[in-house]
Amino acid sequence: MTALTRLLLLITAIGLVGCVQQARIHAPLQPDGWSAQPVSVACRFAPDADLDPATRTPVGDEGYYLYILIDIAGNRDFSTPLSVAFSFKKNPGGHSWIMLESPQSRLEYGHNGNFGLGKLHYLEGVYQRFRDNHPDPIAYLWEVMDDGRLEAKRNEHTPTFVWRMPITKQRHQMIYEYVTQRTYDQFSLRDNNCADMVTDAAALAGINLSRRLRLTIPQETEILGRKLRVWTDTKYRILEFSTPDVLLLDLRHLAQFGIGSDVTEWYLGLKQ
């Protein structure tokens, strides 16, 4: 039973780690009730975005840039609960953060959390609820952690993808004020994590980025011939959360169409 529940926890904890280069993050509704749907943005650019009138691509002042960095862990496959379980068992980890560049400096900022301080890690918390015969084990993913922190320097993560967008000096200042005045003590899987911090900063630059994934979760999941109850209360049937998986695919799509650019090799050389 322990092995079975650990496998199920890998399924339910899909938002705790990062993203992938060739992720399959869309799955139509399955017979068992499972589905995965990225949530798109309603409008790509803010009404006051700084765009080239001819190409409709972002422009900025010389030397001012916003970078979004993502540390991917490996391929993610959201086609079925089992594919998610095996994906996360094989490739845990992941993160997203930003870098602000001006002619004078380059500054990196990120929001991290879920360190197991005060409360169990999300994965461990769900597992404990299974052991306690809780009627809604997956409900632990709705908990808010109090161990969040600001990363205001280069961290231990090495990005697999780096996206750069030109910005104005004024927007650089707006983003700087946001990340330095923002509170980081709380961390939430659903709406206050690294991907949320990154996309909030991007919105101040005038661009709206996708980062949300909506899962429809079966009430029961069969693992190795055994059925396990995931939830009882229907409010836990749908889990929508922010994840670098969706953010990465959106940024790659933008770079392909000339909105921002892929500067991964440049950044890795800079870090060395």
Which residues are bridge partners to 110 per DSSP?
A: 151
What's the rounded mean pLDDT across residues 7-22? 36
Minimal CA–CA distance to 60: which of 98, 102, 107? 102
**Total-model pTM:** 0.86
What pLDDT, in 10s, does the model give residues 25-45? 888 888 888 999 999 999 999
Which of the pair, 228 or 19, is modelled with greater confidence? 228
CB under 8 Å, gap of 24 or more: what pairs does 43-50 form? Answer: 43/208, 44/207, 44/208, 44/259, 45/206, 45/207, 45/208, 46/203, 46/206, 46/207, 46/208, 48/206, 49/206, 49/207, 50/167, 50/168, 50/171, 50/206
**pLDDT value at residue 135:** 95
Q: How do 95-101 and 106-112 pair as beta strands?
A: antiparallel
What's the rounded mean pLDDT across residues 75-86? 74
- In three-state secondary structure terms, 71 is strand
Which of the pair, 91 or 10, is modelled with greater confidence? 91
Q: Cβ(171)–Cβ(60) under 8 Å?
A: yes
Q: State the Cα–Cα distance between residues 197 and 186, nearest whole angstrom.
A: 12
What pLDDT, in 10s, does the model give residues 92-115? 667 999 999 999 999 999 999 988
Residue linked to tokens 């983003």: 175
Average confidence score pLDDT of the chain: 86
Q: Which domain holds residue 176?
A: 2-271
Lowest mean pLDDT among 69-83, 122-136, 248-262: 69-83
Lowest mean pLDDT among 118-122, 141-145, 194-198, 262-266: 118-122
Lowest mean pLDDT among 18-32, 74-88, 131-145, 209-223: 18-32
**pLDDT value at residue 19:** 31
Give the up-direction half-sphere exposure of residue 179: CA atoms within 13 A in the CB hemisphere: 30
**pLDDT value at residue 85:** 65
Give the up-direction half-sphere exposure of residue 84: CA atoms within 13 A in the CB hemisphere: 27
**pLDDT value at residue 91:** 67
Please enumerate in sequence order all residues whose Cβ is within 8 A of that of 180, keeping only pairs 6 or more positions apart, or say none.
109
- Count of domains for the chain: 1
Residue 145 clears pLDDT 70, i.e. is over it:
yes
Minimal CA–CA distance to 33: which of 220, 227, 190? 220
Residue 206 clears pLDDT 80, i.e. is over it:
yes
